Amino acid sequence: MPVYIAAQGLFEGLGTIPYIWTILKTLPWLFLVYLLKRYLGGATNSSERLMHSKVVMMTGGTSGIGAAIARGLAERGAQLVLLTQHPLTDPFLADYVMDLRTQTNNELITAEHVDLNSLHSIRLFATKWVDNAPPRRLDMIILCANTLTPRGGRATTTEDGLESNWGLNYMANFHLLSILSPALRAQPPDRDVRIIFGTCSSYMGGILPDLSKDDKASGKSKPKSSRQSPHSTALAFTPASAYATSKLALMTFASAFQKHLNSYSRPDKQPMNARVLVVDPGWTRTPGMRRYLTFGSLWGLAIYLVSWPLWWLVLKSPEEGAQSFLYAAMEARFGRGAGGWFIKECREVRLARSEIEDENVQKSLWEATENTIEALEKEGAAARAREKKAKEGQETNVIKSKDGTEKASEVSSTKPMVDGNIGSKKPGSRRSKKGG
């Protein structure tokens, strides 16, 4: 057919081909859209690395950019440990893991339940991972979990009372890596260990609170009301500013964490082999971005669907957004050197905020965060103890009858069974006579 049309145009003239002029006028615009899409889609990872036997721990690996990264690494043979808030018995999680194994022909994909909204849940998992002899193999940690309050939305809090952006985007990562630090430092010296943080260019608009005056002087954490969002000490809550501040704090911690690793003196006197990388994937069509653009409403979703061609053009797909992460995970030169690189569009770039590498800012933020987590964990432990005590008291609650005997109003299921009835007394039995 194309040959016949071309021959007709050549011998009989272009005017004899139906709609030819309309097609010729449209082609330049289609080519322009193609070039624009290629440009806005960003750079493509060109580095490859043997990932077989590499153990990669991931947060946020079940949706958006994280799912694309997980698929890319699994296809290259990496052993994935997905940290997810879904219960391990959740049908969605089971189907997702099985589908990923089938699609990538990789059976070394597992999941662990870790709710990043709960400091207690993070500690339970991380201490279980660290408490192992010999130390478990861990080649890479990729931190993709992320939350973003929709525009116009109100501030929400985590299980511990922290503002959600601050609690999940920053505090959860700080808590997880603080506990896993011994596992990273215990890896053999010939192993290339990488810790990859996901960030966003919005960090340039973040404002860190001045934490050096109160917390550093007293050595104590602030009251719970002021701990809910350190960003609130700078300006009123807005979704964009809260998110930007959480990313700025995360990048400051990433730089400080590299210094923390480098300061460790290994028993074998070998140089530190764990290196931190921070990756900005660019603006991407993730579930969080869609929720932000739609204001978290059905009307916003309808407008988003109508204008979807525009978002398809200007925003990256999850696979395109994952390219810089894959580059950070596989580029050979990042296996050497002091670490602390900032990656965007598959190349190293400079930081736009100088305070990220300021040691005084890093120290103040680190100490304030440690104090806050310590106080919150104490409060959480006390609350769990009270809840457990109240539950036990309810199960063992007894009342005294008029004749002085005690009868259980609510009996635990662990009471001895007598004649087929839990804790019952059969009339005429020895227990009944003794009780009378």
Q: Just list the catalytic residues.
A: 247
Cα(178)–Cα(370) distance, integer angstroms? 9
> What single-letter amino acid sits at 339?
G
CA–CA separation, 331 and 45 (whole Å): 9
Give burial (CB, 10 Å; 0-12/13-18/19+) of 175. buried
Element (H, E) at 189: none
What are the distances in angstroms from CA 376 to CA 28, 137, 368?
Answer: 60, 31, 12
Residues in CB range of 173: below 8 A, 6 or more apart:
59, 143, 145, 197, 250, 253
Residue 322 CA to residue 336 CA, distance in Å, equals 22
- CA-to-CA distance for 379 and 373, rounded, in angstroms? 10
Q: Which residues pair with 56 in a beta bridge?
A: 80, 140
Q: Which helix (H) or strand (E) holds 276?
A: strand 274-280
Supply the DSSP string of 231-294, one letter for each residue: GGGTS---HHHHHHHHHHHHHHHHHHHHHHHHT---TT-PPP-EEEEEEE--SB--HHHHHHHT
Read off the tokens for 318.
Answer: 């999850």
- CA distances (Å), origin 318, targets 42, 61, 235: 12, 12, 32
Q: Which residues pair with 280 in a beta bridge?
A: 344
> The tokens 């966003």 sit on which residue?
200
User: What residue spans of 105-238 are helical by DSSP H?
Assistant: 119-130, 164-166, 172-185, 214-218, 224-227
CB neighbourhood size of 237 (10 A):
16
End-to-end CA distance of the chain: 103
Per-residue DSSP letter, 200: -
Residue with tokens 């120290």, as numbered in its chain = 363
Classified as helix, coil or strand, 370 is helix
The amino acid sitting at 36 is L
417-418 and 193-198 beta bridge pairing: unpaired
d(CA 120, CA 114): 9
